[in-house]
Structure 1
C-alpha cells in the first residue's frame, strides 16, 4: 500500500454501470502541455484518473454553518470558482484588481499572470457530514463506513477526518495553493480549515505516458498502479454505480488519505540489501527481486541459491499485491512531503498517500490490515493522519454543481 500499489474490491464487477471509454471522457483528456488546462466538466471529477501532476495542496474543512441552504449555496459558489480556476482564470468575475477599490477583491491575486498549469480540483464528503445538521444521515453510503483501527497507527485527530475535502493538483505549486486559498476565502463563515497538506514529487503514475516516480526512500513507487488507459478495470474497481446502494454516488469514487511519516535517518543507515528485501524490488531499476526490468511479472514462488523465497513473506510488494487480495486494485496518486524538522534534527518527511477506489471495505481496508500486521517496512514508517471521503460524480455543465446528486435527488 505504501509503495507499489494495489488493493481492491474483490467482487465488484458484475452489473457495473456502463461508462464511456476514459480515453474519450473530457475530464481525463490530456492537457496540451504542463501549462495548459484540463476540462472541468464531465462524467467523473477531474483529478482522479487525470495524469498525476507534480504538486499537491490538499485541505479538509469543517462545516461551521448548520444551515443546509447555506451549504448548498457554498457548493454552488465553489463549483463556479473551480470551473474558472481550472481554466487559468481568476476565481471571481471581477478578479484581483477589477472590482471597486473599497471592496475586498474577488481573487487573492498571487496567480496573476500564471497559466492553468494543469490544475484539477476534486471534492469529497466525509462521514461526519452525514449527521443530523443537514438531513443527510439516511444518505450516507455503506462504503463510507468508518475505517477500523489498524495495528501500529499513531493517528493525530487534529489532522484527520473532516466534513469536506478538496484536492488541488497542478504543475505549479503557487497555482495549487492559490486555488485552495480562494476556496477557503469564499467559504469564510460557512467552513473552516481543519487541516491541510502540501505535497511534491508525485509518488504514482496514473497514465502509461508517465514514468514511475520514486518515494523518499529512493524506490520506484506505484509500479502496479491502475492507469487511466485501463478502462475495463476502472469501471470494475474505481467508479461507484447506482447498484452499489447509493445512487447519488454513481460515477463517483471513494478517497482514502494517509499521512505516513518515514524515519528517514534510520532508513538511510540501513544496508542496500535489507532495503531491497523489505520492498521486494531492486532499488535501481525497480525490478522484482530475481528479475531484470521494472514491469517484469512478480514470481512469488521463485527461490534464491539459499532455497529461501526471492521475495520474502513479509516483503511489502508481496503483501500489497493484487493476487493476495482477490485480484483487486487501487488507483493511487500520492505525494512526497517534507514539513521541516521535528526539533531534534530529524526530518518530518514521508508519503501523503492518496488512493481512490469503488469500496474501501473491500479494497483499502483488507490490504492495509495485512500490511499493518506483517509488513517489514513498518519498522521505518508510522501512520499519523487518516481521511475517508465520498467523491461525487463530475459536474456535467454550468447549471450543475459539486454534490447536486446528494442534495437534490
Structure 2
C-alpha cells in the first residue's frame, strides 16, 4: 500500500490522483479505527486529552510553536494532519501512512525513522492554544478567547526570558522512552513546516509529581518528595471541581478541557547542597527522608498548620513552602501538577543549569495558579534557591472524539 500511495502522488495532474488518493486515505482511516494498540499504548481518542490525568510517564519533550502562516485554512489543515499523525504515533506506528522506509528513494519519507522498532512507551500528545493566537486580526478568533486565558501577571522575583516563554501552540509529549517523545515532536514540527516554527522546547526526565494513586511520590533535584498532595486521576469529584472546565464556565469549545501553566524554575543546586539538612527541611516543611510534614510521621499524614513546637512557634514555619502552597492558605485552590526535572548542562561557571519544569493543569488559572504563585513569590523561603526563567499559558481543549475529529475543530468552526 505504501508503494501504491507513492504511485498515486506521482499522478498529480492526471485526474486520477484525487480519486485513487481518496480511496487510499479512506481505507487507511477505516483500518486505523479497527486496530487494537499494543499493551503499552495509551488510547488517543476520548472525551479528554491524554497526557493530563494519564499516569505521569518518566520522560518529557515539551515544545511551544509560533504560527508563521496568515492563512487560517492552512493552519486548520495542519491541525488535522497533526491529529492523524498523533493518533498513529501514540499507537506505536509511523507518523505517516507511508512510513520511514517504504516508498521510492527519490522522495523523503513521511516519518523520520528514529523510533523504528520501539514500542509506544505510553506516549501521549497534548495540545494547547496560547493567548496570542486569539489576537484581533490574526485568525478571526478574538471573540472566542476564554476569559481564563488572561495573561499571567509578573510575579515578584521573576526573571522571565521572552525567547523561552509563550507561544501560539504547544505540544506536550510524554513517554517512558525519551526517543519516542523526541520522535513525536520532531515529526509534528516536520509536518508543520511553513505553518508553524518552534519557538522553544524543553526536555525533562524523572517526573516530579504522581498523577495516579498507583504511583509512588517522586523526588525533585533538591532531593525531596514532590507532589504528595497532588490531585490524582482517581479523585473524580476533585477533578471536576479543580481541573476540568465545566458547562457554563465558557466558552463552550473549552468545556471538558483544562488550562495549562508552565514555568521553568532553575534551582541553585550548589547553594542548596551547602545548606544544612535541618534548614532544608524547615524551608520545605517536610522531612527529607519519609516526606512527612513537620510534626507528622507519615508522608500522607494530614498537615496541621495550627501545630506549634515547644517554643510556641509554628511547627511548620510561616514561610515554609508546603504551608504557602497549601489549599487552606489559598482559598482552597488546587491544581494537577505533572512537572519534570531538567538538566541543561552547565552555565559556563561550573554550575548546573538544572531544576524543575513545572507543569500544572487547572480549571481556571486566575483562581488556581495565580494566587498560589503570588503567595509563594512574596513569602516562600525557597525563593533564595530558585529562579523562574520561563512561563507559558495555554488552553487545552477536550479530547479528540474519533477519526473524523481533530485538534481545534470546535475552536475553528
So what's the TM-score if we normalise by structure 1? 0.91
Alpha-carbon separation, structure 2, partners of 1:230 and 1:371 = 26
Aligned to 1:292: 297
Looking at both structures, which has the greater relative contact order when contacts are Cα pairs under 8 Å and sequence separation is at least 6? 1
Alpha-carbon separation, structure 1, partners of 2:163 and 2:261 = 17
Residue from 272, 280, 283 that aligns with 2:277: 272
Residue from 145, 148, 151 that aligns with 2:156: 151
Aligned to 2:327: 322
1:241: how far off? Answer: 2.3
Is the Cα–Cα contact under 8 Å of residues 242 and 248 in structure 1 kept in the other structure? no
Is the Cα–Cα contact under 8 Å of residues 124 and 165 in structure 1 kept in the other structure? yes
Is the Cα–Cα contact under 8 Å of residues 256 and 386 in structure 1 kept in the other structure? yes
Alpha-carbon separation, structure 2, partners of 1:203 and 1:366 = 21
- 1:171 partnered with 2:176: yes
Q: How does 1:7-26 map to 2 (within 5 A)?
A: none
Secondary structure, counterpart of 1:206 in structure 2? coil
Residue from 60, 64, 67 that aligns with 1:63: 67
- 1:89 partnered with 2:93: yes
Deviation readout 1:43-85 (Å, 9 max, x if unpaired) = 0000000000000000000000000000000000000000000
Secondary structure, counterpart of 1:103 in structure 2? coil
1:300: how far off? Answer: 1.1
Alpha-carbon separation, structure 1, partners of 2:85 and 2:96 = 6
Aligned to 2:47: 43
1:245: how far off? Answer: 1.9
Aligned to 1:208: 213
Secondary structure, counterpart of 2:294 in structure 1? coil
Structure 1: unaligned runs, 5 residues or longer: 1-31
Deviation readout 1:184-230 (Å, 9 max, x if unpaired) = 00000110000000000000000000000000000000000000000
Runs of 4+ deviating beyond 4 Å: 32-35
Is the Cα–Cα contact under 8 Å of residues 34 and 118 in structure 1 kept in the other structure? no
Is the Cα–Cα contact under 8 Å of residues 243 and 363 in structure 2 kept in the other structure? yes
Aligned to 2:12: none
Is the Cα–Cα contact under 8 Å of residues 63 and 171 in structure 2 kept in the other structure? yes
Is the Cα–Cα contact under 8 Å of residues 161 and 387 in structure 1 kept in the other structure? yes
- 1:117 partnered with 2:128: no
Deviation readout 1:237-259 (Å, 9 max, x if unpaired) = 11112301200101100000000
1:33: how far off? Answer: 12
Is the Cα–Cα contact under 8 Å of residues 62 and 192 in structure 1 kept in the other structure? yes
Aligned to 1:107: 111
Aligned to 1:394: 399
Alpha-carbon separation, structure 1, partners of 2:130 and 2:369 = 16
1:130: how far off? Answer: 0.5
Aligned to 1:374: 379
Aligned to 1:246: 251
Q: CA RMSD in A?
A: 1.2
- 1:53 partnered with 2:53: no
Structure of greater Rg: 2
Secondary structure, counterpart of 1:257 in structure 2? strand
Residue from 179, 184, 189 that aligns with 2:189: 184
1:328: how far off? Answer: 2.3
Alpha-carbon separation, structure 1, partners of 2:369 and 2:37 = 33
Alpha-carbon separation, structure 2, partners of 1:232 and 1:34 = 31
Aligned to 1:331: 336
Aligned residues: 377
1:326: how far off? Answer: 2.0
Deviation readout 1:135-184 (Å, 9 max, x if unpaired) = 00111100000000000010000000000000000000000000000000
Secondary structure, counterpart of 1:360 in structure 2? coil
Secondary structure, counterpart of 2:240 in structure 1? helix
Higher helix share: 2
Deviation readout 1:19-38 (Å, 9 max, x if unpaired) = xxxxxxxxxxxxx9997101
Alpha-carbon separation, structure 2, partners of 1:46 and 1:325 = 28
Secondary structure, counterpart of 1:336 in structure 2? strand
Aligned to 1:13: none
Q: CA 1:313/1:33 → structure 2, altered by over 3 Å: closer, same or farther?
A: farther
Secondary structure, counterpart of 2:354 in structure 1? strand
Alpha-carbon separation, structure 1, partners of 2:340 and 2:183 = 18
Secondary structure, counterpart of 2:248 in structure 1? helix
So what's the TM-score if we normalise by structure 2? 0.90
